[in-house]
Amino acid sequence: MFTDFRLLIVEDETLIALDIQRVVARANAKNTVFARNFKEFSEQPQIGRFDLAIVNPPRPGTPDGRVFDQLAVAGTAIVICTAALLPQVSGDPPNHETVAKPFSDGELLAACARALARARLSFSPKGQEEGPHL
């Protein structure tokens, strides 16, 4: 499913990040970058270089929203993993899905597939499915 995809995981809980990695590794994800939070990720020059990002919801009143928006504008498919009922996401990008913690492997993979499909439709010319725009 994720062969040759560039994957970003932004998760402050190490055990959850490792569990996410386990799930996506079984779906052939091999190119994974980890960050504990959006600030740590923003210090790396990699925004726009990911096909899929599995992230915590951006925290209100922090620069998280700006980093999240940059990922969305770059065409990255986004899955938000949260224990909250409805995360507040600025701009509500069309290429994101939300998964409630705790989640099953199948729920996470299904949300990833939906987010990737949305990103393909949102960022391909004339709605043709070509993959995320990077």
Domains of the chain in sequence order: 6-127 (3.40.50.2300)
Distance CA 110, CA 106 (A): 6
User: Is the Cα dihedral 68, 69, 70, 73 positive or negative?
Assistant: positive
Q: What is the mean pLDDT of each run of 10 residues along the chain (134 residues)?
A: 86 93 88 89 76 90 86 89 67 72 94 89 50 38
**Of 3, 134, 1, nearest to 70 (Cα)?**
134
User: Is the Cα dihedral 21, 76, 87, 43 positive or negative?
Assistant: positive
Distance in angstroms between the alpha carbons of the first and the last residue of the chain? 18
Q: What is the pTM of this model?
A: 0.82
Eight-class DSSP state of 116: H
Eight-class DSSP state of 59: P
